[in-house]
Amino acid sequence: MTDLSGYEHAWLWPAVIIGASIVLALVAHGIVFAVGKRLAKRKAQVIVVSLVTHAEGPTRWIFPLLALILALPTLPVRSSLVEIVRHLVGLGVIAAVAWLIIFLADVFSNAIYARYRTDIADNLTARRVRTQIAVLRRIFSILVIVVTLAIMLMTFPEIHQIGTSLLASAGIVGLVVGMAMKSTLSNLVAGVQIALTEPIRIDDVVIVAGDWGWIEEILTTYVIVRTWDLRRLVVPLSYFIENVFQNWTRRTSDLLAYVYLYVDYTVPVEELRGEFRRIVQASPLWDHKVCVLQVSDACESTIQVRALTSAADSSKAWDLRCEVREKLITFLQERYPDSLPKTRAVLRGLPENGQLANGHPMGAPAGERVAR
């Protein structure tokens, strides 16, 4: 029977060294971030709080990996085995550093976001900055991941040896990959265009494919549009470059709110205009800019009245339109019910005595009667 006691003792000391290194690294990590959290709580600064919050996860891996790199030369094992472990640990360090860089980009984003408020009515500048930072941060993350993978692959000697043979076919492979990923690449390019030209921003009010909603998220290849009934539309970024859509908050958030009423020719326009002004002036939704009522069109049976007012944003404009419409209809129903739309007809050939079949008189001349 083979004696394994010597083999077990040979691995006992390296295991103790590795375990102690990892434990000491985690203890040091805990102390550093305990002090960092206390400092962040005391200063209450956005950048300090964000730095401590985002760096804690990646550094929890970086500290033990660095400790292993320092401990490997002291291990009483074969140098070839140490080199293999050192290579694996090095790959872990590269990945953890890339993770840390991505989270540092989040820290930068949070610091920028804190300087611009989005909880105000006219938040155009804040929405523009947040959109640019969000799109550029995602592009930066993709670049960091690609560069990290390239660096990790370059640590393998075999990659250098086969690099020359792959160089000749790189153009063909790139062409094939580009054709296979045409839609993805077009969306990535569209993301850069959107970040620079800003056809849409986060919280913009848009109409996309007939749906009215808000830009909720701008991701790497698609946009999330939250509709008024809380549905989410997933729209490719390229759609906003290649298609026509409505952006109600492109320059400013204030909008005109309009209501169309169809009423009879007998409606008293001045009284209706005065009631409209009283309704608008009493509403907290009005921004005190526009308040106009005009007869905008006329047809055979009705006239079209347009009540035009304004509000600070799209939500208030919609609510103001509904309020004005409801109260103007109520006003006409209560004060001028005869001004509501009617259908008129001329009846010919009635009895000359002016009496209908039920005996009620008609005021029109004999032989021609007007009914409404």
Q: How confident is the model at residue 152 (pLDDT cuts 50, 70, 90)?
A: confident
Mean pLDDT of the chain: 76
Residue 344 DSSP SS3: coil
30: its two tokens = 């805990």
**CA dist., res. 237 & res. 128, Å (int):** 17
Letter for the amino acid at 233? L
User: pLDDT tens digits, residue range 211-254?
Assistant: 888 888 888 778 899 998 889 999 988 888 888 888 887 777 77
**Distant-in-sequence, close-in-space partners of 160: CB < 8 Å, separation ≥ 6:** 154
**CA dist., res. 346 & res. 364, Å (int):** 10
369: left (phi over 0), alpha (psi -120 to 50) or beta: beta
**CA dist., res. 295 & res. 299, Å (int):** 11
Q: How confident is the model at residue 364 (pLDDT cuts 50, 70, 90)?
A: very low
Q: What phi, psi does 225 have (nearest 5°)? A: -110, 120
- What number is the average pLDDT over the span 262-278? 93
Greatest alpha-carbon pair distance for the chain in Å reads 134
Higher pLDDT, 176 or 87: 87
- What number is the average pLDDT over the span 153-167? 58
User: Quick count: other Cβ atoms within 10 Å of Cβ 309?
Assistant: 28
Q: What phi, psi does 349 have (nearest 5°)? A: 80, 25
CATH of region 187-247, choose from 3.40.50.620, 2.60.120.310, 2.30.30.60, 2.40.50.1070: 2.30.30.60
Instruction: Determine the CATH number of domain 255-339.
Output: 3.30.70.100
Contact status, residue 259 vs residue 280, Cβ threshold 8 Å: no
Q: Comparing C-alpha atoms, which of 258, 317, 328, 257 is closest to residue 285?
A: 317
Higher pLDDT, 350 or 293: 293
Query: Among the ranges 10-19, 50-59, 208-217, which has the highest mean pLDDT value?
Result: 208-217
Residue whose pair of structure tokens reads 């208030």 in the numeric block: 316
User: pLDDT tens digits, residue range 315-355?
Assistant: 888 899 999 999 999 999 999 998 888 877 777 765 655 55
pLDDT number for residue 330: 94
Q: How confident is the model at residue 274 (pLDDT cuts 50, 70, 90)?
A: very high
C-alpha 156 chain-centroid distance: 41
Q: Which residues pair with 225 in a beta bridge?
A: 215, 233
